[in-house]
Amino acid sequence: MQIKLDFNNMMAEFLGEKEGFTRQDIEAILPQINQAHQNMTEKRDTGMEWRNLPFNQQQVVEQILNTAADIRNRCDTFVVLGIGGSALGPLAVQTALNHWHYNELPPEKRGGPRFYVVDNVDPERVAALFDVIDLSRTVFNVISKSGSTSETMAQFMIIHKMLQDRLGDRYVHHIIATTDREKGNLIKIARHEGFTTFIIPGGVGGRYSELSPVGLLPAAVCGIDIKELLAGAAYMDKICRQGDVFSNPAYMFAVLQYLAMGRGKNISVMMPYADSLKYFADWYAQLWAESLGKRFDLNQREVFVGQTPVKALGTTDQHSQVQLYTEGPFDKVVTFLKVERYRQELAIPKIFADIPSIGFLGGHTMGELINAEQLATEYALLKAHRLNHTIILPEVNPFTVGQLIQLLEVATAFTGELLNINAFDQPGVEEGKNATYALLGRPGYEEKRQELADRPAK
Ligand code: PA5
């Protein structure tokens, strides 16, 4: 079951010569494409180790499955404490692959504990969690690659104290740490206090970490087949190793987005036509924005690159944003996620035959309707000469979701190589993290605190 990229509507043949691209446009940048491919191959083991996650974790997977079985036995709730790359992947995979109302199902139908991702420090939201969980039946997975992010550490500290107060020495069985092998405070605390710990390997940055223990443990706890997830990613990775852009969907996605950026298309809309993939748009938004939104110097000139990601949902946003996409500025590329076969189907009954303007729906299925809506939106964009392409999933399952993750990660990294930027750092995010440390008095950040104090008064 292979997922596919349909890029016809990015091409002049379909979209018209003014907006669409030609084969010659792609061939004109072949030297850059070949160089970027060489970089991807060379960096596979030095800087892009995330690409090897589908292949090199057999032992870790067994440990994760054992830990997950233990948690499922003794707990009814599993909570992820993390933010950014340490939260969006677990949320996207869980919503894609489990029942839409997973938490509300009775335990025997759920197949795992209730699942929450606390990825903010809004006190109202964090406090609200304690109204619906029983601490003695909950395991908290604190996830932080750096082991020092303020939001995650603050959540962890609150829960650590609550657990100790409530459970005494037994608290230790209710916290699992997922973090770097050496860097940061979390690993030190975890070793000292004896938490079960999983390691995020080197060369696996936050937003590229879903297929590491960051995403695999929460998925396994909730009953998702993580071996299939990894098998899907491995399958796609093999396809994405090919240097020929016309055979490599990740490279083609990247090349067309890159060419589009060159023509001022500064917005990338991700629009799944499946509620199950809604949070994949959030995950993609982080991956694309944080990896590619960069400033660099070229010939003593400042250059700013990147595309602003926009999350949309079909069909919901057809009735809000699509007007802008078809008639607003020519500054977007729309990526549809299309599902060929939904896991559940609903027939629309043949009633109201005497009212033809709604009666025509009877006898069709919901799946037919949503697919027709996707095609119709694609057509509306095409007719308005708006760049769009479609990633087609035969079905949403662990194997196709694994492919989707690997496809989009490789595409993002390849776009970074084409742009000649570092797709794996995030100085803009670090600046904000450091300013927070300074504002709240972290030792070592006195200079930053002074810098903030010296800013113009409002
Ligand atoms: O992609 C990234 O590196 C970031 O978005 C991080 O995932 C995010 O800032 C959280 O960092 P950490 O996992 O170190 O707590």
> Which atom of ligand 1 is nearest to 82's Cα?
15
Q: Which residues contact 217 (CB under 8 A, 6 or more apart)?
A: 64, 67, 68, 141, 176, 178, 198
* CA 30 to centroid of ligand 1, rounded, Å: 34
Q: Which residues contact 97 (CB under 8 A, 6 or more apart)?
A: 219, 224, 276, 396, 397, 398, 401
What is the chain's Cα-based Rg? 23
**Ligand 1 contacts CB of residue 144 (under 6 A):** yes
> Which atom of ligand 1 is nearest to 200's Cα?
13
pTM above 0.90, yes or no: yes
Say how many Å lie between the first and final Cα of the chain, rounded. Answer: 57
Q: 248: which 2 tokens?
A: 């490599």
CA dihedral over 131, 134, 139, 142, signed as positive or negative: positive
**Ligand 1 contacts CB of residue 291 (under 6 A):** no
**Ligand 1 contacts CB of residue 218 (under 6 A):** no
Of 156, 143, 157, 77, the residue nearest 110 (C-alpha)? 77
What per-residue confidence (pLDDT) applies to 111?
80
236 near 218, Cβ under 8 Å? no
What per-residue confidence (pLDDT) applies to 457?
86
What per-residue confidence (pLDDT) applies to 413?
98
Residue nearest to atom 2 of ligand 1 (CA): 206
Report d(CA 93, CA 77) in Å as an integer. Answer: 17
Residue-level pLDDT, tens digit, the chain, 458 residues: 999 999 999 999 999 999 999 999 999 999 999 999 999 999 999 999 999 999 999 999 999 999 999 999 999 999 999 999 999 999 999 999 999 999 999 998 998 999 999 999 999 999 999 999 999 999 999 999 999 999 999 999 999 999 999 999 999 999 999 999 999 999 999 999 999 999 999 999 999 999 999 999 999 999 999 999 999 999 999 999 999 999 999 999 999 999 999 999 999 999 999 999 999 999 999 999 999 999 988 889 999 999 999 999 999 999 999 999 999 999 999 999 999 999 999 999 999 999 999 999 999 999 999 999 999 999 999 999 999 999 999 999 999 999 999 999 999 999 999 999 999 999 999 999 899 999 999 999 999 999 999 999 88
* CA 426 to centroid of ligand 1, rounded, Å: 9
> Which atom of ligand 1 is nearest to 179's Cα?
13
Of 346, 409, 400, 363, the residue nearest 48 (C-alpha)? 409
**Ligand 1 contacts CB of residue 207 (under 6 A):** yes
DSSP 95-121: HHHS-TTGGGS-HHHHSS-EEEEE---
**Ligand 1 contacts CB of residue 145 (under 6 A):** yes
Of 204, 159, 146, the residue nearest 434 (C-alpha)? 146
DSSP 202-224: TT--GGG-TTSHHHHHHHHHTT-
CA dihedral over 16, 21, 27, 29, signed as positive or negative: positive
Q: 105: which 2 tokens?
A: 């199902």
Q: Which residues contact 400 (CB under 8 A, 6 or more apart)?
A: 1, 3, 232, 393, 394
What per-residue confidence (pLDDT) applies to 298?
87
* CA 377 to centroid of ligand 1, rounded, Å: 35
**Ligand 1 contacts CB of residue 84 (under 6 A):** yes
> Which atom of ligand 1 is nearest to 208's Cα?
1
- Pocket probe for ligand 1: among 149, 151, 183, 214, the residue whose CB has the most ligand atoms within 8 Å is 149
Residue 385 annotated as catalytic? no
**Ligand 1 contacts CB of residue 209 (under 6 A):** no
* CA 86 to centroid of ligand 1, rounded, Å: 6
> Which atom of ligand 1 is nearest to 429's Cα?
9
Q: 437: which 2 tokens?
A: 């440390």
- Annotated catalytic residue within 43, 173, 433, 448: 433
Q: Please give the C-alpha separations between residue 297 and each of 252, 262, 269, 303, 304, in angstroms, as whole numbers.
A: 27, 17, 28, 6, 9
Q: Which residues contact 199 (CB under 8 A, 6 or more apart)?
A: 178, 179, 180, 181, 213
Residue 17 annotated as catalytic? no
Interface predicted TM-score (ipTM) over 0.95: yes
Name the β-bridge partners of 4: 392
Report d(CA 181, CA 80) in Å as an integer. Answer: 19
**Ligand 1 contacts CB of residue 426 (under 6 A):** yes
**Ligand 1 contacts CB of residue 83 (under 6 A):** yes
Residue 18 annotated as catalytic? no
Report d(CA 418, CA 398) in Å as an integer. Answer: 30
